Chain A
Amino acid sequence: RKEVEQDPGPFNVPEGATVAFNCTYSNSASQSFFWYRQDCRKEPKLLMSVYSSGNEDGRFTAQLNRASQYISLLIRDSKLSDSATYLCVVNFSGYALNFGKGTSLLVTP
């Protein structure tokens, strides 16, 4: 069983749409949670952290449910520039980050 599981997609949505990505993790002792973004053939970059209380950064909202070991990312009013792969990331211990396979998003005009 993979430690971090995501629906790989691809998700094809029109501009302005709302899209949600889900992720589950297997280690109940996980400490920290993040979403990273990776553009095609580029390096991953931190998009946002995820907190149990939920957190928002502009059009992006992240949620964490520790009881269900479930993480989500909601993107509102999608832009063409949002097209990328979104990686769900969990920190179990130390500095090692566990990445999911990523969910591919394509926003079309």
Chain B
Amino acid sequence: DAGVTQSPTHLIKTRGQQVTLRCSPKSGHDTVSWYQQALGQGPQFIFQYYEEEERQRGNFPDRFSGHQFPNYSSELNVNALLLGDSALYLCASSSRRTPSYTGELFFGEGSRLTVL
């Protein structure tokens, strides 16, 4: 049973560039959330996708956008990269059939983005 997979694992970009990160959720899961984890910080919620629509969004600018595909996989896009966007980007999957109060998110190992 494949867990959450993310790609790429590491990447380096320069300021002003754009990046796309990819995520495949755990088998049987239909909901994908994205989190940003800066060094020494806890993960911060970016947004969540379900049924190919953005359902909930955290306090992130419009430079951060996403997409969910019919097979439930997802992409995170960041435009006009800033130095402060350097972080570990975590994808988490869950099932809408699982009540939110269980808090059970399954995270991928993340994509580590460095912006120079």
- Cα A45 to Cα B43 with chains together (Å): 12
Interface size on B, residues (CB 8 A): 25
- Cα A87 to Cα B31 with chains together (Å): 22
Within 8 A of B (CB), among A72-89: 87, 89
B94 to chain A, nearest CB (A): 7
- Cα A89 to Cα B45 with chains together (Å): 12
Interface of B is mostly: mixed
Chain B interface residues toward A at CB < 8 A: 31, 33, 35, 40-45, 48, 55-56, 58, 90, 94, 100-105, 107-110
Chain A interface residues toward B at CB < 8 A: 4, 8, 31-34, 42-46, 49, 87, 89, 91, 94-102
Can you identify 21 A-B contacts, CB atoms within 8 angstroms? A4-B42, A31-B101, A32-B101, A44-B43, A46-B103, A49-B101, A49-B103, A87-B42, A91-B100, A91-B103, A94-B55, A95-B33, A95-B48, A95-B55, A95-B100, A96-B48, A97-B43, A97-B45, A97-B103, A99-B35, A99-B44
